[in-house]
Amino acid sequence: MIDARGLSCPMPVVMVRRELDKNHPSDLEVKVDNRTAVENVSRFAGNNGYQVEVQSADDDEFTLILTKKA
């Protein structure tokens, strides 16, 4: 799980990229607290073979579930 709350872009994307490069997870949970990070992490993950599910607790906290496409 990556907790990127409180960080502005590009740091959430950088953190996800490092995790994907290092561990090649089949699933990854990412917590962010702004829509820009949701969009950027989702785009990056999609371009790297992951399906993204966005769950919103409220307007300023999001959980992204990244799942490797088969």
| Predicted confidence pLDDT, tens digits, the chain (70 residues) | 999 999 999 999 999 999 999 999 999 999 999 999 999 999 999 999 999 999 998 878 999 999 999 8
Catalytically annotated residues: 9
Secondary structure (3-state) at 23 = helix
Our count of domains for the chain comes to 1
Q: What is the pLDDT of residue 60?
A: 87
Residue 21 main-chain phi, psi, to 5 deg = -65, -40
What's the pLDDT score for residue 70?
83
* 30: CATH: 3.30.110.40
- Give the residues across from 31 on adjacent strands: 3, 63
Strand 2-3 to strand 27-32: parallel, antiparallel, or no bridges (unpaired)?
parallel
What pLDDT is recorded for position 69? 94
Vertex 23: Cα angle to 39 and 28 (nearest 5): 40
67: closest CA among 40, 21, 48? 48
Confidence (pLDDT) at 57:
81
Q: Identify the domain containing residue 24 by its residue range.
A: 2-68
